Amino acid sequence: MSGSFAKTAVMIGAGNIGRGFVGAAFATSGYETVFIDIDEALVSEINARGEYPVRVLLPDGGYKDTIAQGVRAVHSKNTGAAAEEIARADICATAVGVRAMPQLAPLLAMGLAMRSRAGQGPLNIIVCENMIAAGAQLRQHVMDVLPAGLGPVIDGMTGYPEAVIGRMTPIQTDEMKDGDPLRVCVEKYAFLPVDKEAFRGEIPHIDGMLPLDRFEYYVKRKLYIHNLGHAAVAYLGMLKGYTYIADAAEDAEILYIAQSAMRESAAALSCENGGDAANLDRSINSLLYRFTNHALGDTCARVGADPVRKLGKTDRLIGALENCEVYGLPSIYIAAVAAAAALVLEKTWDSASPPQPLSEITGLSIECEAYRLIMKLGTACSSAAAKDKDGAVTALRRAAMKIAGDIVIL
């Protein structure tokens, strides 16, 4: 601990979410904020300045600048120093990406073991990785690498509360950095829902943090409405030749499919959490408006990246579709989005990366109705694209509307 700060927060991952959202919230909440990251130039620049700018991009084209102060950084390869920061921290968070969580576990285990030997109190590690059960997965990764005999002790003093990351932070272009390599541009939305029941000991006050009960529902809500809708705009936008999310979100055909898919998913979530229908509808309208923020410069390619993962059985598309099936509700427009994602994925296959069966990617049986529906909608879309690229999304929308009974073809 240094300077006049009475408490320290460790933010593992100094990328867009780390600096632009969670780390900035730590800093404005009165914590000395220590970033742990692998980017040597970034670590050096943070240490040289002790602060960095966050720019909130407003839908009207304006912006608001704030400065996150009282920050420093440690390179992740300096494992001893990084572990010491974790051992002394009052709060910790991760934003490294789902695939990097296993690699993070040894560092956390080292820091937690040092903390235990020093007799420090509980440590809560806020897990800011957009996936269901991310906290449980990180906990297991840490348990797997702890020294023999330390597992029960460490587990009893460590909380892994998951967070729902709703703030949109696009790839930072040189124009967004505006001459400052540390500047992070973000949207105005800055709420951080977290799993109230997963904390050990007292829950600290963090600006924008909302501790919630029944947290799995809110994770599903983020994944099956926000992420589903974002993916819908991205994949449909890519099929129609759009570069930017904001442009695609303003296209009437894309908006129709995306909104319909989000509402299908919301109907299932409302069954899961009775009485939430009106709130979910407001959330959908708000999200569709936020997607049209041109100032973010967010691209369809970024939002639609890694379609194999996003077509996975529990992810935003197939997970939402199967959640509808649990409650016997239609998921035709969700299937249309999955078909669009599969067509985008198909364009990435080449001789060096042979096609992977869609049934294998999605975990759906080729005999099940959902798989057949995706294939039927995909065929309608690809057949139209073969004749006229611009007609692919039109054909997909009309096919989905016909199956849903939203139009009558005479």
CA dihedral 387, 392, 397, 399 (to 10 degrees): 40
Please, which residues have CB within 8 angstroms of residue 83's CB and are 6 or more apart in sequence?
107, 110, 111, 114
DSSP structure string for 320-341: HHHHHHHTT---HHHHHHHHHH
CATH of 8-213, one of 3.40.50.300, 3.40.640.10, 3.30.70.141, 3.40.50.720: 3.40.50.720
Render each residue's pLDDT in the chain as its tens digit; 410 residues. 455 788 999 999 999 999 999 999 999 999 999 999 999 999 999 999 999 999 999 988 899 999 999 999 999 999 999 999 999 999 999 999 888 999 999 999 999 999 999 998 999 999 998 788 899 999 999 999 998 888 999 999 999 999 999 999 888 999 999 999 999 999 999 999 999 999 999 999 999 999 999 998 999 999 999 999 999 999 999 999 999 999 999 999 999 999 999 999 999 999 988 878 899 999 999 999 999 999 999 999 999 999 999 999 999 999 999 999 999 999 999 999 999 999 999 888 765 566 789 999 999 999 999 999 999 999 999 888 777 766 899 999 999 999 999 875 54
List residues bridging with 192 in a β-sheet.
209
Q: Is 365 helix (H, G, I), strand (E, B) or coil?
A: coil
pLDDT score at 192:
95
Residue 54 phi/psi, 5-degree rounding, is -120, 125
Q: Round to whole Å and give the CA distance between 117 and 289.
A: 50
Which position has the token pair 């992420």?
A: 227
DSSP structure string for 293-305: -GGG--BHHHHT-
pLDDT score at 49:
97
CA dihedral 297, 280, 403, 331 (to 10 degrees): 90
The pair of three-digit structure tokens given for residue 223, joined into one six-digit string: 């994944």
Q: Round to whole Å and give the CA distance between 269 and 323.
A: 8
pLDDT score at 3:
58
Q: Where are the beta strands (DSSP E) in 38-75?
A: 51-57, 63-69, 71-75
In one letter, which amino acid is 221? R
pLDDT score at 315:
94
pLDDT score at 64:
95
The burial class, CB within 10 Å (0-12 / 13-18 / 19+), for 292 is: middle
pLDDT score at 167:
92
Q: Are 19 and 66 in contact (CB under 8 A)?
A: no
The pair of three-digit structure tokens given for residue 219, joined into one six-digit string: 């994770």
Question: Within 13 Å and on the Cβ side, how many CA atoms surround 395?
Answer: 21
Q: Are 80 and 88 in contact (CB under 8 A)?
A: no
The burial class, CB within 10 Å (0-12 / 13-18 / 19+), for 387 is: exposed
Sign of torsion over alpha carbons 27, 33, 36, 41: positive
Domain map of the chain by residue range?
Answer: 8-213, 216-404
pLDDT score at 1:
43
pLDDT score at 341:
97
User: What is the third-level CATH fold of 216-404?
Assistant: N-(1-d-carboxylethyl)-l-norvaline Dehydrogenase; domain 2 (1.10.1040)
DSSP structure string for 196-233: GGG--SSPPP-TTEEEESSHHHHHHHIIIIIIHHHHHH
List residues bridging with 64 in a β-sheet.
56
Angle at 110 between CA 205 and CA 30, to 5 degrees: 20
